[in-house]
Structure 1
Amino acid sequence: MWPDRRLIDLFKTEFPIVLAPMAGVMDAELVIAVAQGGGLGSLPCAMLSAEKAREQVNIIRQRVKAPVNLNFFCHKAVDADPAHEAKWRQRLAPYYREYGLDPDAPVNAANRAPFDAAFCAVVEELKPEIVSFHFGLPEQKLFERVKASGAIVMASATTVKESIWLEENGADVIIAQGAEAGGHRGMFLTETIAEQPGTFALVPQVVDAVKVPVVAAGGIADGRGIAAAFALGASAVQIGTAYLRCPESRVTPAARAMLARASDESTVITNVMTGRPARGVANRVMREVGPVAPDAPAFPHAATALGPLKAAAEKQGRVDFSNLWAGQAVRMGREMPAAELTRALAGAALARMSALSQA
């Protein structure tokens, strides 16, 4: 009944729905629930150690017999710049004083690790059916090891140029990430955020430019959006924001309340939270310091000085310094079990496509 079954057959899932990997707000429980609902569960590994990733995959494997996608970042790691970080802390000093914190006290460095040999060993050991990458692809030797493990490789593109590069460099599936999408922009061949195309403009152009299957991502949160993505030539969709308020997510109560109040105007693209462009619900620090701040340290070091502020505010039930990554369809999220939501999304999409075909 699906007009394009390439990714259903490749992934061996019931539905062409991929759970977006959302680091920091989900773990194995959401992966399991989406898999039980017939979608492809994705485990974000960028904020995990190799040992923790191994532990999470083992939990998933014990609970469901379903394919799993492990997601990794491929950014080029840069060392922290003490002078730059000191300037950033000075910019945040008024907030430290407000919360009675010492801006000069040592804090743990932000953890957003790029794919490396340790993660590659985890892939080779656990053999996930799918491995996906954000910010390009890993170095050639690591990439070849991932492919040799038997994994299907997906990677995010935010422009046609990036999608062509990914296909030429061995990606099996392209995730076309429109500007509406929540979380970090997957851009890696450009730094010009103003030129990022939206999903409806990007997907058909990527489909025309590459031969591999394309997953549409960004602003898709119901059956209408899924049907539209297939009409544009996508073979599957990646959905994240719609799952944030599911009981299996790890979103805090304060963040859930903020997401529930959000509207189509609530999200912005910011570099304040991590040092790299990402879309999320605007919070206090995004509005007052950014949303785009030229003095924010390079990714991921901007998050280091925000750590104590985030912890202090969350103790008071506030999300002034919490990164609430979400896409422009945030108001369309629903509070329902993730397996049920996955089946509802698929059913609504099929009904919509059936109605259109009979019109």
Structure 2
Amino acid sequence: MNTSQHFLDRLAIQLPIIQAPMAGISTPQLAAAVSNAGGLGSLGIGASTVAQAHQMVEETRALTNKPFNVNVFCHAPAQRDTQREAAWLAHLAPLFAEVNSALPSTLNEIYPTFLGDEEMLALLLEQRPAVVSFHFGLPPNEHIAALRQAGIYTMATATNLQEAALIEQAGVDAIVAQGVEAGGHRGCFDPEATDERHSTLVLLRLLSSRSKLPIIAAGGIMDGQAIRAALDAGAVAAQLGTAFILCPESAANASYRSNLQSARAAATRLTSTFSGRLARGMVNRFIAYGEAAGSPPPAAYPVAYDAAKQLNAAATKLGNSEFAAQWAGQGAPLAREMPAQQLIETLVKEIVA
């Protein structure tokens, strides 16, 4: 059985605290601050080009000499369906008209998958971050082997026992057990399969009783007391995302921060309306509109995201943030505004309190 200390020693970090990657919200400044404070900072490059990813890694390296994690998306390529995409755009037409924007004529698959992305793999092998983690599935076995051969520690998200078994069989080093409380996208390998939506604690106990791999608990963890509970339940570390959004080092904009500090934070929902895959965020007008009775299904991931992002960009110019994807977990009302280093110090005090 892997202990937390063994995991920390392997990664050469001091604290069992991992900052979740959060593509679009995590920054080199945030990742470096967490790593410098003794945890494991993370970059989410799933929405980045190879050039952008390279810049983010370089910027992080300039700010810390400590280990950090780089996360990639391993989703299956979108199954394009012109009729479904047209129906979704037609449904969104009144919203585009409301923000004085022309309806897009076509939608694009804006986030390329890491599956088969030889350029991104080459970048990771060249840069050799301490950790590379996978979300939405697993890359080919030879990619995992190449990363491990380069001395890179690998982790992958699991939402159930079957995914955890596939992760173990693939030779990945550790499992991120993502409970349904987590903000952002569910890491399900197959979005069409039945999702049991296990809570973090239930999933952690299930996996720790059946897997030999180190398990990181993720979902709804906002303070040191919850980290301690996860460690007591068998986790080697805890991964926190929403807890870091209010840190000044995150890329969250003023609207996101304001909503996370308001009563709105108490209402989060899993929705596929934004991207085409289930993700938990604070409920706003876009979610309510997209899920209203009679609404067609959104386009496939990440094609639907192209529509949502274009709509939000137009609305933002008018000072309207009701169409923004503001991801947050169920623990959102517990979010605290402070620099990342101070948050880490606070969490540590709470763990041992």
* Common topology (TM > 0.5): yes
CA deviation after TM superposition for structure 1 residue 11, in Å: 1.3
| Residue in structure 2 matched with residue 356 of structure 1 by the alignment | none
Flag the 1:257–1:299 CA change in 2: closer, same or farther, 3 A: same
2:322 counterpart of 1:320:
yes
Aligned to 2:90: 90
Residue 38, structure 1, aligned to residue 38, structure 2: yes
User: 8 Å contact 1:6–1:213 — kept in the other structure?
Assistant: no
Matches within 5 A, 1:44-123: 44-78=44-78, 80-105=80-105, 109=108, 111-115=110-114, 116-123=117-124
Q: Which segment is superposed worse, 239-248 or 194-203? A: 194-203
Q: Distance in 1 between matches of 2:10 and 2:263?
A: 36
Aligned counterpart, 2:20: 20
Q: Is 1:135 paired with 2:136? A: yes
Which residue number corresponds to residue 357 of structure 1?
none
Task: Report the Cα offset of residue 341 of structure 1.
Answer: 0.4
Task: For structure 2, list consecutive stretches of 5 or more residues without a partner in the other structure.
Answer: none
**Conserved 8 A contact 1:254-1:317:** no
Q: Could you tell me how far 1:141 is from its partner in structure 2?
A: 2.3
Q: In the alignment, does 2:185 pair up with 1:184? A: yes
Question: Are the counterparts in 2 of residues 275 and 298 from structure 1 also a CA contact under 8 Å?
Answer: yes
1:347 and 2:349 matched: yes
In structure 1, the partner of 2:10 is: 10
Give the partner amino acid of 1:290.
E
CA contact (8 A) 1:263 1:330 kept: no
TM-score, normalised to structure 2's length?
A: 0.94
Cα distance change on mapping 1:241 and 1:6 into 2, 3 Å:
same
Structure 2 residue aligned with 1:355: none
> Match of 2:155?
154
Compare 264-273 and 90-99 and name the one that shifted more: 264-273
One-letter code aligned to 1:23: A
> What is the CA–CA distance in structure 1 between the aligned matches of 2:319 and 2:157, rounded to whole Å?
34
User: Retained in 2: the 8 A contact 1:272–1:296?
Assistant: yes
The equivalent residue for 2:274 is 273
So what's the TM-score if we normalise by structure 1?
0.92
The answer as to whether partners of 1:268 and 1:282 remain within 8 angstroms in 2 is yes
Structure 1: give runs of 5+ residues left out of the alignment: 352-359
Aligned pairs (5 A) from 1:122-271: 122-189=123-190, 191-192=192-193, 195-262=196-263, 265-271=266-272
Contact 2:221 2:227 in 1 (8 A): yes
Considering only aligned residues, what root-mean-square deviation do their CA atoms show, in Å? 1.8
> Which position in structure 2 is the counterpart of 1:330?
332
- Aligned partner of 1:310 among 309, 312, 336: 312
Contact 1:268 1:291 in 2 (8 A): no
Query: Could you say if the C-alpha distance between residues 156 and 348 of structure 1 is closer, same or farther in structure 2, counting changes exceeding 3 Å?
Result: same
Q: Which residue type is aligned with residue 89 of structure 1?
A: L
Cα deviation digits, residues 241-277 of structure 1 (max 9, x gap): 0000110111110111111114664100000000001
Q: Alpha-carbon deviations, 1:277-328, whole Å to 9, x = none? A: 1111111110121289652011000111222320122223332111111100
Aligned to 1:175, what secondary structure does the other structure show?
A: strand
The Cα shift of 1:339 comes to 1.2
SS at match of 1:9: helix
Residue identity opposite 1:52 in structure 2 = Q
CA distance in structure 2 between the aligned counterparts of 1:44 and 1:8, rounded to whole angstroms: 21
Contact 1:162 1:189 (8 Å CA) reproduced: no
Residues 278 and 340 (structure 1 numbering): CA distance in 2 closer, same or farther, change over 3 Å? same
Distance across 2 between alignment mates of 1:65 and 1:16: 18
Greater mean deviation of Cα atoms: 138-147 or 177-186: 138-147
Q: Is the 8 A contact 2:100 2:314 kept in 1?
A: no
**Hey, what's the Cα distance between the residues in 1 that align with 2:202 and 2:265?**
19
- Mapped to 2, the partners of 1:101 and 1:52 lie a distance apart of 28
Letter in 2 for 1:90: A
Aligned length: 348
